[in-house]
Structure 1
Amino acid sequence: MSADTPRRIVLLRHAKAEWSDSSDHERPLADRGRQDAPAAGRRLAGAGITPDLTLCSTATRTRETWKLFVTELAHRPKTVYEERLYEASLGELIALLNETSDDVHDLLVVGHNPGVHALADALAGEADDDLLARMNRGGFPTAAMAVITFNGSWKTVEHGVGRLVAYLPPHE
């Protein structure tokens, strides 16, 4: 696959988590999150998108989201549980994308806010219709997804490189 191949980034915020006395990293999904995660997977599958690679935060709620989400996809992509996604800054998230192999066409990132929303907003130099305004108005709720396309190598991912082609909040 050449470096100028069209690519897709799917950014998924974990589903709704419980509030608990345990560490933030170990918070499990709430009942609503256990319903929303597979529904989000069905929405992505319905859009005909099957990731080649998934980068998933190591937090309990992201791992649980991914486990429920992936059951709805046509096939399970390679999955890397990435500690650096937890509490990652925008710059750290872009650096992670830059490390992606150019063999990957579609990448799914399962992460947290505010990073996931900030990354979607930063990468979207353009947007179809009013998607960017809708995404920013909605605040990127749990189990929401943004789909961004761009051309080029993963090493070239930076602010404004992509086009927001879908914003999929969980209850729309």
Structure 2
Amino acid sequence: MSAAEPRRIVLFRHAKADWPQVSDHERPLAERGRMDAAVAGRKLADTGITFDLALCSTATRTRETWKLAVHELAHRPKTVYEERVYDASPGELIAVFNETPDDVRNVILIGHNPGVHGLADILSGTAEGDARERMERRGFPAAGFALLSFDGPWKSLEPGVATLTDYWAPAE
């Protein structure tokens, strides 16, 4: 990859979870979530992005979402199950990204709301086409994702430096 090529981030919210009598961290995906996770994986594959790294919350529903989605990708990235992604604020998520090695170009984060939606809003100083309008209209439903790009090292990731280049959410 050339040094001029932007870094890309996908912020991917876990698919729809079930509500059994378990702790929040241990909630599994609902049947709808399992279907939507696979569809989201196909949409991620359609972006053509080869991810170098996946940062996934340790929660059951995020791990299950990623397991179903990654099967749709042509290349399986290195996956790090990161406890700090669970229930993280946008600022905490930025801190995780700031630790990413600079030889990593494209990262997907599989996390939770409100942190994932908040981070997409905070990072995107600009947007292409109608991506921002679609995200504002739909919110950030389960299995939705935002694609952002930015230039510079990971340590420079901060509010407003990225461009929201695409947004996708499953049908209602």
How high is the TM-score relative to the length of structure 2? 0.96
The equivalent of 2:122 in structure 1 is: 122
- Quote the residue 1:161 is aligned against: 161
Query: Percent same amino acid at aligned positions?
Result: 66
Cα distance in structure 2, aligned partners of 1:27 and 1:3? 41
After TM superposition, the structure 1 = structure 2 runs for residues 24-103 of structure 1, keeping only pairs within 5 Å, are 24-103=24-103
Alignment of 1:13-32 (within 5 A): 13-32=13-32
Partner SS, residue 84 of structure 2: helix
Residues in 2 aligned to 1:53 and 1:158: alpha-carbon distance in whole angstroms: 19
Is 1:11–2:11 an aligned residue pair?
yes
Native 8 Å contact 1:17 1:33 kept in 2: yes
User: SS in structure 2 opposite 1:165?
Assistant: strand
Distance 2:109 2:72 in 1: 16
What is the alpha-carbon root mean square deviation over aligned residues?
1.4
SS in 2 for 1:16: coil
Task: Count matched residues.
Answer: 172
Q: Does the CA contact (< 8 Å) of 1:11 and 1:111 recur in 2? A: yes
Secondary structure of 1:148's partner?
Answer: strand
Measured in 1, the distance between the counterparts of 2:2 and 2:54 equals: 20
Shift of the alpha carbon at 1:21?
1.6
Give CA-to-partner distance per residue, 1:23-64, whole Å, 9 cap, x none.
Answer: 000000000011011111111111211211000000000000
Deviation at 1:7, TM superposition (A): 0.4
Q: Distance in 2 between matches of 1:127 and 1:60?
A: 32
| 1:66-93 residue CA offsets vs partner (Å, 9 max, x unmatched) | 0000000001100000000001011101
Amino acid at match of 2:85: L
Long gaps (5+) in structure 2: none
| TM-score (normalised: structure 1) | 0.96
CA contact 1:5–1:152 (8 Å) conserved in 2: no
Taking the aligned partners of 1:77 and 1:58, their CA distance within structure 2 comes to: 17
Distance in 1 of aligned mates of 2:75 and 2:130: 32
- Partners of 2:63 and 2:150 lie apart in 1 by 27
Structure 1 runs, 4 residues or longer, greater than 3 Å off: 1-5
Instruction: Check conservation: 1:29, 1:64, Cα contact below 8 A.
Output: yes
2:144 aligned residue: 144
What residue number does 1:171 align with?
171
Higher alpha-carbon deviation: 128-137 or 140-149 = 128-137
CA distance in 1, matches of 2:129, 2:4: 25
The letter for the 2-side match of 1:124 is S
